[in-house]
Amino acid sequence: MTKSQMIKKESCFNFIMNIYDIALSQIFQELTWLKENNSDIISNVTKRIKNPDSIMKKMKKKHFQNNYTNLIERIDDIAGIRIVCPFKENIYTVLKLIKEIDSIYILKEKDYIRKPKKSGYSAYHLIIETPVNVNDTELLVKVEIQIRTMAMDFWATNEHDIRYKTNKKISIFDSKKLSFYARILNILDDKMMKLRKKQNFKSLQFFKT
C-alpha cells in the first residue's frame, strides 16, 4: 500500500468515526436529559467509542473481512452508552422511556437479566439507530445501549479487567468463581430491591393513616 493510499484509508476511517461520534453525542444528550428528569431510577450515564485496535480485534474474532462495509453493517457496538440504575425494576422503566424517544429506532434487544450469559454477565442490551445529518444527507447510525444495576456494573467492570486486562489467560476454576460471584450479586440485587419495596410500602401506609 502506498503512502497516499494509507492516508486516504486513514482519512476515510476518521470520517466514519466522526459520524459515530456525532450519533453518540446525540443519544448521550437525550439520555442525560432523561437522567436529569428521572434521577431516582438512573444513577449514571456514560459513553465510549471503540478504538481502532478493539474494532480490528472484534472483526478478526468474528472472522469478518477487513473492510468498511463489514465495519458499518456487522459491528454493532462501535459507539456505546451505559446506563446504571439502582435496582432491576428501574431497568425496565428506563427501557420504556427510551422507547418513547423519537430519535431512537430499536433494531435489536437482548435481555441478559432474565437470561444471563454463561459467564454470569447480566444487563439489558439495545442496538439502536439514530439519524445523523452529513452533507445534507440523513444517515442512520448504530449505537449500543447497555442498561445495568450498580451490582451488575460492579461485576461486569471487574470481570472484564480480570479476564482481558491481564497477560495470563484466566483458569477454568477462576472463571467458575466469577460466575458464582455473579449469582451472589444477583441474589443481593433482588434482596435489596425487595427491602426497598418493603420500606416504600411502609411509607405509603404511614401517609394513609
Return the active site residues: 144
At 9, is the secondary structure helix, strand, or coil? Answer: helix
**103 neighbors 24 (Cβ within 8 angstroms):** no
Helix pair 150-164, 172-208: axis angle to 10 deg: 170
- At what angle are helices 88-99 and 3-37 packed, to 10 degrees? 110
Question: Cα–Cα distance between 190 and 57 in angstroms, integer?
Answer: 36
CA–CA gap between residue 204 and residue 209 (Å, rounded): 9
